[in-house]
């Protein structure tokens, strides 16, 4: 029994290190050792015990990374503090299932193959990350590779593998560290260390070469990114609706006076239904015509039919002639924010009208990967949370998009870690797709990111400003944009095969 607390402490240490690998409080270099304590704790255990150790790691890391969800649902969801903490706890416990599965797999492999299983543990880590992105309620927030957003040479591998390849390399470092701690053979330890150094060196050299190459441009557009910095409690205040739109208009005039051809407003920047408010629609059309700009803005849509209705989170674009040329509906909705996953479970099969379900808006997901056109060039606008999904963003270059736009409202999260985490994840979409990514955020972070992941310009949180910059269009298609998650799904397939082949000794 003496050994039990030590293993749990090691697993908890991994959870703390994972949480400290991400902004705003953490640093990316911590991620390289974060999983090693958990892997060491798995030596000599398997099955349910391994699963529990992984759950400790997952629960601790999730709490450190997602603590801000409780304040969001309390402040803006109308929930009491205890209920808000409960919602956060449910989310953390659900996310913790994936490190648990990872630990169960590695525990089984250790029993079958010995310490060498630690060297192949990154396969299991990536396998569980791709599952997390596609199962339960699809919440791939802060995957391990995102911790390396500032490590530009390393993240260039994402143009082949998406963020999952970076996760693999970072997890491999922990796997080798654990192997060095447990393997008794000196030659084998030396071989493992040299192999890791060779792989990381090759990736680093390739990434450095990629960073030195110029980005091929197929034209450019001068654009203005509007950050009106409207507090969340004021954003949907009907008495301030017109004033909020006027703030965006004033910043648009500033951008137009600096030569902006395309002006982009954040998510939900127009808090009225465009199709049902002709006075507002005419005002925006006139703004676009007066300054001869394309105007892209966040604006929801509603459709009534047979006593019911549907609402979509949306974005629209007006041409310099004032015509509505583009309409996009958000495809990936925010769980517990724009819809409630597992409603039947949370309401006991519908028998209890849980306050959580009553408070959360029930939006309808969109189903069309539409692209807009600006002076003969195509762009794609995604909305907020969608920027954390590699498989979603790659659909747009496949449809000809030469520029990626993300409109978002991170005002919900205040000055917590969430805006910084969200931005770090969005940067990867530029690298994966070989496109410039421009981001218009209500309260920040508004930014321009080049196809190598370099942040060319950015604002601070709660800064009222407009960011004007010339941004190129790019037509070259990366391996990832063309072929998708081949690497990540291959890791999952390999993990399944290894598990089937494992026979405990």
Assign 338 to helix, strand or coil: coil
pLDDT of residue 503: 75
In three-state secondary structure terms, 263 is: strand
Q: In this prediction, what percent of the chain has a pLDDT beyond 70?
A: 94
Question: CA dihedral in degrees (60, 61, 67, 68; nearest 10)?
Answer: -170
pLDDT computed for residue 338 by the predictor: 77
Q: Which residues pair with 377 in a beta bridge?
A: 374
115: left (phi over 0), alpha (psi -120 to 50) or beta: alpha
* 92 has catalytic annotation: no
405: nearest Cα among 206, 505, 264: 264
Q: Measuring CA to CA, how many Å separate 77 from each of 95, 386, 414, 427?
A: 21, 21, 15, 29
Let me know if 330 is a catalytic residue.
Answer: yes
Instruction: Residue 491: name the closest of 166, 206, 17 by CA.
Output: 166
SS3 of 157-198: the string is: CHHHHCHHHHHHHHHHHHHHHHHHHHCCCHHHHHHHHHHHHH
Report, as an integer, the average pLDDT of 194-199.
Answer: 97
**Residue range 414-423, pLDDT digits in tens:** 999 999 999 9
Q: Express each pLDDT in 275-289 by its tens digit.
A: 999 999 999 999 999
pLDDT of residue 241: 83
Q: What is the pLDDT of residue 240?
A: 83
Place of tokens 């648990």: 100
pLDDT at 47: 92
Token digits of residue 423: 């931005």
Q: Which of 129, 142, 338, 384 is catalytic?
A: 384
Q: Which among 437, 436, 414, 407 is positioned nearest to 329, based on CA atoms?
A: 407
Largest CA distance in the chain: 77
Give the rounded percent of residues in the chain with a pLDDT score beyond 90.
81
Which single residue is written with the structure tokens 């029994």?
1
Going by C-alpha positions, the residue among 397, 427, 422 that lies closest to residue 409 is 422
C-alpha distances (whole Å) from 234 to each of 14, 243, 466 are 40, 10, 20
Alpha-carbon Rg for the chain in angstroms: 24
Strand-strand pairing, 294-298 and 262-264: parallel
Average pLDDT over residues 1-30: 89
Catalytic residue from among 129, 235, 316, 330: 330
Lowest-confidence region among 233-237, 315-319, 395-399, 487-491: 233-237
Which pLDDT band, with edges at 50, 70 and 90, does 253 fall under? very high
Q: Give start and end residues of each alpha helix (H) in 20-117.
A: 31-34, 36-41, 47-66, 68-77, 81-95, 97-113
3-class DSSP assignment, residue 306: coil
Q: Determine the pLDDT at residue 345.
A: 54
Q: What is the mean pLDDT of the chain?
A: 92
Rounded to whole angstroms, how far apart are CA atoms 470 and 220? Answer: 7
Say what the pLDDT of residue 363 is.
Answer: 87
Alpha-carbon gap, residue 185 to 274, rounded angstroms = 69
- The string of pLDDT tens digits covering residues 384-438 is 999 999 999 999 999 999 999 999 999 889 999 999 999 999 999 999 999 999 9
State the Cα–Cα distance between residues 333 and 312, nearest whole angstrom: 10
Select from 203, 205, 244 the least CA-distant residue to 226. Answer: 244
| Residue spans of alpha helices (H) in 1-46 | 3-19, 31-34, 36-41
Q: Is 267 a catalytic residue?
A: yes
Q: What pLDDT score does 352 carry?
A: 42
Higher pLDDT, 347 or 115: 115
CA atoms within 13 A on the CB side of 251: 28
Residues 6+ apart with CB under 8 A from 342: 137
**Alpha carbon distance 498, 359 (integer Å):** 45
Q: Of 129, 183, 267, 386, which residue is the catalytic one?
A: 267
CATH number for the domain whose boundaries are 220-331+366-475: 3.60.110.10
Structure confidence at residue 348 (pLDDT): 44
Nearest-angstrom CA–CA distance, 79 and 74: 5
Closest CA to 211 of 129, 154, 255: 154
Q: What's the CA gap between 233 and 228, in Å, rounded?
A: 14
**Residue 33 above 70 pLDDT?**
yes
Other C-beta atoms closer than 10 Å to the C-beta of 358 total 12
């Amino acid at each position: 029994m003496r050994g039990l607390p030590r293993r749990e402490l090691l697993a908890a240490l991994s959870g703390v290190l994972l949480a400290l690998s991400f902004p705003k409080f953490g640093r990316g270099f911590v991620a390289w050792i974060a999983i090693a304590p958990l892997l060491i704790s798995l030596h000599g255990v398997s099955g349910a015990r391994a699963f529990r150790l992984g759950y400790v790691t997952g629960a601790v890391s999730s709490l450190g990374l997602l603590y801000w969800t409780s304040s969001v649902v309390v402040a803006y969801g109308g929930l009491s503090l205890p209920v808000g903490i409960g919602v956060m706890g449910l989310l953390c416990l659900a996310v913790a299932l994936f490190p648990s599965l990872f630990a169960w797999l590695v525990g089984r492999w250790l029993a079958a193959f010995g310490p060498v299983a630690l060297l192949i543990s990154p396969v299991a880590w990536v396998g569980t990350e791709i599952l997390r992105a596609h199962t339960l309620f699809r919440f791939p927030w802060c995957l391990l590779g995102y911790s390396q957003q500032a490590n530009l040479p390393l993240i260039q591998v994402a143009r082949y593998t998406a963020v999952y390849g970076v996760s693999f390399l970072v997890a491999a470092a922990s796997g080798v560290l654990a192997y060095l701690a447990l393997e008794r053979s000196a030659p084998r330890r030396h071989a493992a260390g040299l192999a890791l150094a060779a792989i990381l060196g090759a990736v680093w050299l390739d990434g450095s070469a990629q960073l030195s190459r110029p980005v091929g441009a197929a034209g450019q557009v001068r654009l203005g990114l509007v950050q009106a910095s409207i507090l969340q409690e004021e954003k949907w205040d009907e008495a301030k609706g017109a004033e909020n739109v006027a703030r965006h208009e004033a910043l648009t005039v500033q951008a137009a006076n600096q030569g902006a051809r395309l002006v982009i407003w954040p998510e939900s920047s127009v808090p009225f239904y465009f199709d049902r408010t002709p006075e507002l629609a005419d005002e925006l059309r006139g703004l676009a015509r007066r300054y001869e700009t394309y105007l892209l803005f966040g604006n929801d849509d509603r459709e009534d039919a047979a006593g019911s209705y549907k609402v979509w989170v949306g974005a629209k674009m007006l041409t310099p002639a004032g015509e509505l040329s583009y309409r996009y509906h958000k495809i990936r909705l925010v769980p517990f924010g724009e819809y409630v996953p597992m409603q039947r479970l949370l309401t006991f099969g519908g028998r209890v009208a849980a306050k959580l379900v009553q408070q959360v808006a029930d939006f309808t997901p969109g189903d069309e990967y539409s692209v807009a056109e600006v002076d003969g060039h195509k762009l794609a606008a995604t909305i907020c949370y969608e920027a954390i999904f590699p498989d979603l963003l790659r659909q747009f270059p496949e449809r000809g998009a030469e520029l990626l736009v993300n409109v978002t409202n991170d005002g919900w999260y205040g000055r917590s870690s969430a805006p910084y985490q969200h931005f770090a994840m969005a940067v990867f979409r530029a690298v994966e797709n070989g496109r410039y990514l421009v981001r218009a955020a209500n309260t920040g972070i508004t930014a321009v990111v080049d196809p190598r992941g370099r942040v060319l310009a950015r604002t601070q949180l709660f800064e009222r400003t407009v960011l004007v910059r010339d941004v190129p269009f790019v037509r070259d298609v990366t391996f990832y944009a063309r072929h998708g998650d081949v690497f990540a799904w291959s890791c999952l397939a390999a993990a399944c095969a290894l598990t089937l082949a494992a026979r405990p000794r």
